[in-house]
Amino acid sequence: DAKTTQPNSMESNEEEPVHLPCNHSTISGTDYIHWYRQLPSQGPEYVIHGLTSNVNNRMASLAIAEDRKSSTLILHRATLRDAAVYYCILLIQGAQKLVFGQGTRLTINP
Amino acid sequence: ETGVTQTPRHLVMGMTNKKSLKCEQHLGHNAMYWYKQSAKKPLELMFVYNFKEQTENNSVPSRFSPECPNSSHLFLHLHTLQPEDSALYLCASSQAGKHSNQPQHFGDGTRLSIL
């Protein structure tokens, strides 16, 4: 499985945008980029996924580099409830085996 | 909002006990999963079930025995566990298929402590 690299932790302020980076230099052409997050005392929660084009949904935006070797999850206006561990995961279409790394622990300051 | 319900939320058991974890999904999905999350380690996939058939066993010791009687229910039977088995056990479900990119939906887990 292709690997991803994320910073261990990041900190931001409430109501400011947050950009969470992910490097995946060995990504293959069939790998989709998925993001999940895990809030304290809860199971992981799907955030967004994409292949080549940037994607937006009600939770976040996903910006994918042109060479696909990196991507950025964007929270447009962070709230205290966005404090969580964010995981960037590569997955080919139809695959079911999510391989979680350590993720990025995001702290939001009031 | 959780379409995946796990019971119990907390479980303390001795090494010689036998217990079961239960997971139920109300999302109409055809695939269910067990994951283990130990302290300071990433989530690890344990088992995958598709249409009630086990399709993946990630080298899990036989003291963990899964059961999937139908597409909505998944159990994890536990017997003669070790202290290192103390962890958060998470269940997930998804609508799986060859061309599917549907996300997995997780329950909030069972926190298991082995004495």
Chain B: give the shortest CA distance to residue A100, in Å.
Answer: 6
Q: How many helices (H) and strands (E) does chain B have?
A: 0, 11
Q: Which among A43, A46, A98 has the least Cβ separation from residue B109? A: A43
Q: Is B103 at the interface with chain A, CB within 8 A?
A: yes
Is B101's CB within 8 Å of A32's CB?
A: yes
Q: Which amino acid, one-letter code, is at B24?
A: E
Q: Output A83 or B51, whichever has higher pLDDT.
A: A83
pLDDT at A88 over 80: yes
Put simply, whether A32 touches B (Cβ < 8 Å) is: yes
What's the distance, CA B69 to chain centroid? 14
Cβ(A43)–Cβ(A36) below 8 Å: no
Contact A105, B40 (CB under 8 A): no
Q: What confidence category does residue A61 fall into, taking pLDDT thresholds of 50, 70 and 90?
A: very high
Q: What's the confidence (pLDDT) of residue A94?
A: 85
d(CA A110, CA A6): 24
- Tens of pLDDT, residue by residue over B15-57, are 989 999 999 999 999 999 999 999 988 999 999 999 989 999 9
Overall average pLDDT of the A100-108 stretch: 96
Q: Which helix (H) or strand (E) holds A49?
A: strand A44-50
> Tell me, what's the pLDDT at A92?
87
Q: What would the pLDDT profile of B62-82 be if each residue is shown by its tens digit? A: 999 999 999 999 999 999 999
Q: Is the pLDDT of residue A40 over 60?
A: yes
User: Alpha carbon of B88 to those of A71, A105, B16, B109: distances in Å?
Assistant: 29, 18, 19, 6
The partner residue sitting opposite A98, judged by closest CB among B99, B104, B108, is B104
Measured distance CA(B85)–CA(A79) in Å, rounded: 35
In chain B, which residue's Cα lies nearest the Cα of A95?
Answer: B98
pLDDT, residue B2, reads 61
Residue B98 banded pLDDT, cuts 50, 70, 90? confident
